[in-house]
């Protein structure tokens, strides 16, 4: 069984999405920290131990692809699930080729997102 006390960083500029993800993930036992853009997210990663990142691609200040590049440079083994709307499916697929662990299309199916995290963390635990 996985240790459900995993710490996930949610990076998105949409407060409704941040609230929905925080509520659901917290209720499932995950510890959640949030950031409104990639620059804030990188500051959090520099000061806190995080087990994974949920990252929106379209944000002000620093977008998700820029943050993904920086995460890969500084934390090469950090699991990152990127997210964006239906119109950006090709960008999401390209993001997985550029280092994202997985992606999810908005509107977010939170059950699917949790399933993806459980699979990612299970694989990481199995490979220790």
Rounded distance between C-alpha atoms, residue 67 and residue 120, angstroms: 20
What pLDDT is stored for residue 4 in this prediction?
54
How confident is the model over 90-126, as pLDDT tens digits? Answer: 888 889 988 999 999 988 888 898 889 888 888 888 7
For residue 100, give the 3-state DSSP assignment. coil
How confident is the model over 39-66, as pLDDT tens digits? Answer: 999 999 999 999 999 999 988 898 999 9
Please compute the mean of the pLDDT values over residues 64-84 and round it to a whole number. Answer: 95
- Is residue 3 scored above 60 in pLDDT? no
How confident is the model over 17-43, as pLDDT tens digits? Answer: 999 999 989 988 899 999 999 999 999
80: β partners = 53
Instruction: Cis check for the bond before 107: say yes or no (omega within 30 of 0).
Output: yes
Q: pTM score, two decimals?
A: 0.91
Domains of the chain: 7-121 (3.40.50.2300)
User: Between these two residues, 106 and 80, which has the higher pLDDT value?
Assistant: 80
- Is residue 2 scored above 80 in pLDDT? no
């Amino acid at each position: 069984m996985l240790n459900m006390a995993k710490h996930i960083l949610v990076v998105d500029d949409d407060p409704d999405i941040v609230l929905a993800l925080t509520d659901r993930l917290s209720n499932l036992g995950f510890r959640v920290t949030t950031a409104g853009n990639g620059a804030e997210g990188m500051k959090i990663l520099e000061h806190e131990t995080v087990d994974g990142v949920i990252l929106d691609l379209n944000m002000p200040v620093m977008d998700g692809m820029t943050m993904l590049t920086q995460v890969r440079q500084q934390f090469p083994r950090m699991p990152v699930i990127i997210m964006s709307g239906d119109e950006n499916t090709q960008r999401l697929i390209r993001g997985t080729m550029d280092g994202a662990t997985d992606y999810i299309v908005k509107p977010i199916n939170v059950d699917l997102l949790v399933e993806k995290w459980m699979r990612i963390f299970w694989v990481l635990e199995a490979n220790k």
